């Protein structure tokens, strides 16, 4: 991209990838239909340079929003730009997947002190014998590594996003509520001032000129601390509304138009899906299926060569446990659905 090209960081939702589109990192992109309110929330977060915290039940589309923005910006600004390998350049987009054991520093950098100690011990042996064993080139590389501590430092996704870029990169911190209660508070400085230090190497990375656009998702498994919430913009992603036909729109853009017989199957599958959700809603310990489960469920139905048989399987879903298992992931939920379906 030309340094003189002005970028209007506005997300419109008008650019949609074909299902299964891949970027150079082999990440897959899917069509995404944001509500007007969600688009406004994204653009407000971009303008205010604040992280956008997205909450909502699993499967409502929180995680895919960041990739939708990255895809749109790629198409608007980079689709005709080519790198040295003559491949299309993609918007810088980093994904930090949070686990229960994740620490805040993991997203910034890692420093391999053990590797440095090992190299130092090797250099402390007989230099001539070491050179005879490793060779001149590898011994020279070993010396160079020891002379520069930075060779033992590796940036994490957040650390990469806080480097200087030609434009504002996108960072997704996915499922932050999986980490322990101190995790979010440990990120306050980095998210507030967008800078960090590496004490092991003495490096300091100031706030970049092009600040990252940060998306954070949470499934509300545990509450997030107040100081962290104050630094974010918040948006609750609602589940697709049945009366407005929102799920049908998602299916249309994901799969394309259907012939009459398959459309009948899709319509009945959607109706059954919402009835299952209604059955499980507000039941303690139950988890109603989300959009991702429905897409898997519908894909399984559409792969049947005999549509009439697929319709029968749908009607007899409570006795088709493998198919039911694409929607309901616990025996408790399956038993509850089957019990209420038989009443």
Per the structure block, which two tokens stand in for 39? 């688009």
Confidence of residue 280 (pLDDT cuts 50, 70, 90): very high
Q: Are 38 and 46 in contact (CB under 8 A)?
A: no
Asked whether residue 15 is domain-assigned, the answer is no
- In terms of domains, do 214 and 300 share one? no
Q: Which residue has the tokens 């918007």?
A: 91
Distance CA 33, CA 39 (A): 10
How many other CB atoms are found less than 10 A from the CB of residue 124?
A: 9
Confidence of residue 86 (pLDDT cuts 50, 70, 90): very low
What mean pLDDT, rounded, does the chain reach? 88
Confidence of residue 82 (pLDDT cuts 50, 70, 90): low
Distance CA 237, CA 55 (A): 6
- In terms of domains, do 40 and 97 share one? yes
Closest CA to 143 of 162, 116, 165, 179: 116
Which pLDDT tens digit goes with each residue over 122-156?
666 666 656 655 656 676 566 767 777 898 899 99
- In terms of domains, do 231 and 331 share one? no
Q: What is the pLDDT of residue 124?
A: 62
Among 207, 236, 265, residue at a domain's last position: 236
Q: Are 176 and 184 in contact (CB under 8 A)?
A: yes
- In terms of domains, do 120 and 100 share one? no
Distance CA 211, CA 113 (A): 30
Task: Render 187-231 in DSSP notation, one character per residue.
Answer: THHHHHH--EEETTTTEEEPPPSS--EEEEEE--SSPPPHHHHHT
**H helix intervals, the chain:** 36-48, 62-73, 104-108, 113-123, 127-134, 136-147, 157-161, 183-186, 188-193, 226-230, 246-255, 260-280, 291-302, 307-315, 321-324, 331-342
Q: Are 141 and 147 in contact (CB under 8 A)?
A: no
Q: Are 284 and 330 in contact (CB under 8 A)?
A: no
- In terms of domains, do 286 and 137 share one? no
CATH code of the domain covering residue 34? 3.40.50.300
Q: What is the pLDDT of residue 342?
A: 66
Among 86, 120, 152, residue at a domain's last position: 152
Q: What is the pLDDT of residue 103?
A: 93
More confident site: 147 or 178 = 178
Per the structure block, which two tokens stand in for 138? 């590898």
Q: What is the pLDDT of residue 204?
A: 95
- In terms of domains, do 229 and 80 share one? yes
- In terms of domains, do 144 and 190 share one? no
Asked whether residue 49 is domain-assigned, the answer is yes
- In terms of domains, do 144 and 204 share one? no
Q: What is the tally of structural domains in the chain?
A: 3
The answer, yes or no, to whether residue 89 has pLDDT greater than 80, is: yes
The answer, yes or no, to whether residue 65 has pLDDT greater than 90, is: yes
- In terms of domains, do 53 and 164 share one? yes
Q: What is the pLDDT of residue 84?
A: 46
Confidence of residue 158 (pLDDT cuts 50, 70, 90): very high
Interhelix angle 260-280/246-255, rounded to 10 degrees, is 130
Asked whether residue 8 is domain-assigned, the answer is no
Residue 229 domain boundaries: 21-109+155-236
Q: What is the pLDDT of residue 135?
A: 58
Q: What is the pLDDT of residue 36?
A: 94
Q: What are phi and psi of 322, to 5 degrees?
A: -60, -40
Asked whether residue 257 is domain-assigned, the answer is yes
Question: Per DSSP, what are the bridge partners of residue 6?
Answer: none
Exposed e or buried b per residue across 234-252, where buried means at least 16 C-beta atoms within 10 angstroms of its C-beta: bbebebbebeeebbeebbb
Asked whether residue 116 is domain-assigned, the answer is yes
In sequence order, what are the residues at sequence separation of 6 or more whose Cβ sits closer than 8 angstroms to the Cβ of residue 333? 280, 286, 287
Q: Are 111 and 200 in contact (CB under 8 A)?
A: yes
- In terms of domains, do 166 and 93 share one? yes
Asked whether residue 232 is domain-assigned, the answer is yes
- In terms of domains, do 173 and 259 share one? no
Q: What is the pLDDT of residue 109?
A: 97
Asked whether residue 265 is domain-assigned, the answer is yes
Distance CA 55, CA 287 (A): 16
- In terms of domains, do 330 and 215 share one? no
Q: What is the pLDDT of residue 52?
A: 98
Q: What is the pLDDT of residue 145?
A: 75
> Which of 9-18, 269-278, 281-290 has the lowest average pLDDT?
281-290
Asked whether residue 9 is domain-assigned, the answer is no
Which pLDDT tens digit goes with each residue over 98-115?
999 999 999 999 999 888
Among 152, 175, 204, residue at a domain's last position: 152
Which pLDDT tens digit goes with each residue over 188-230?
989 999 999 999 999 999 999 999 999 999 988 888 999 999 9
Strands 28-29 and 21-22, by their bridges, are antiparallel
Burial class (CB in 10 A: 0-12, 13-18, 19+), 233: middle
């Amino acid at each position: 991209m030309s340094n003189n090209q002005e970028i209007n960081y506005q997300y419109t939702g008008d650019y949609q990838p074909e299902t299964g589109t891949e970027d150079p990192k082999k990440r897959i992109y899917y069509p995404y239909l944001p509500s007007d309110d969600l688009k406004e929330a994204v653009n407000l977060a971009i303008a205010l340079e604040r992280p956008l915290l997205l909450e909502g039940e699993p499967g409502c589309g929180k995680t895919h929003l960041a990739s939708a923005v990255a895809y749109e910006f790629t198409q608007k600004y980079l689709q005709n730009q080519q790198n040295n390998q003559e491949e299309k350049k993609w918007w810088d987009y980093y994904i930090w997947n949070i686990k229960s054991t994740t620490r805040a520093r993991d997203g910034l950098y890692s420093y391999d002190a053990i590797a440095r100690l090992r190299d130092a011990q090797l250099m402390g042996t007989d230099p001539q014998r070491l050179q005879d064993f490793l060779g001149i080139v590898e011994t020279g590389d070993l010396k160079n590594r020891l002379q520069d501590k930075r060779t033992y430092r590796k940036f994490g996704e957040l650390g990469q996003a806080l480097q200087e870029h030609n434009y504002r990169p996108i960072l997704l911190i996915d499922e932050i509520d999986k980490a322990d209660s101190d995790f979010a508070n440990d990120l306050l400085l980095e998210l507030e001032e967008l800078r960090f230090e590496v004490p092991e190497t003495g490096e300091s990375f100031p706030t970049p000129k092009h600040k990252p656009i940060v998306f954070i998702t949470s499934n509300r498994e545990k509450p997030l601390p107040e100081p962290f919430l104050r630094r974010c913009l918040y948006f609750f992603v609602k589940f697709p509304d049945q009366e407005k036909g929102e799920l049908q729109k998602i299916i249309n853009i994901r799969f394309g138009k259907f012939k009459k017989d398959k459309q009948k199957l899709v319509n009945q599958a959607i109706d059954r899906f919402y009835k299952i959700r209604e059955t499980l809603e507000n039941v303690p310990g139950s988890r109603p299926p989300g959009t991702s489960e429905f897409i898997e469920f519908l894909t399984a139905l559409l792969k049947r060569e005999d549509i009439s048989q697929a319709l029968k399987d749908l009607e007899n879903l409570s006795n088709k446990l493998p198919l039911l298992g694409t929607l309901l992931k616990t025996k408790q939920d399956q038993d509850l659905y089957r019990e209420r379906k038989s009443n």
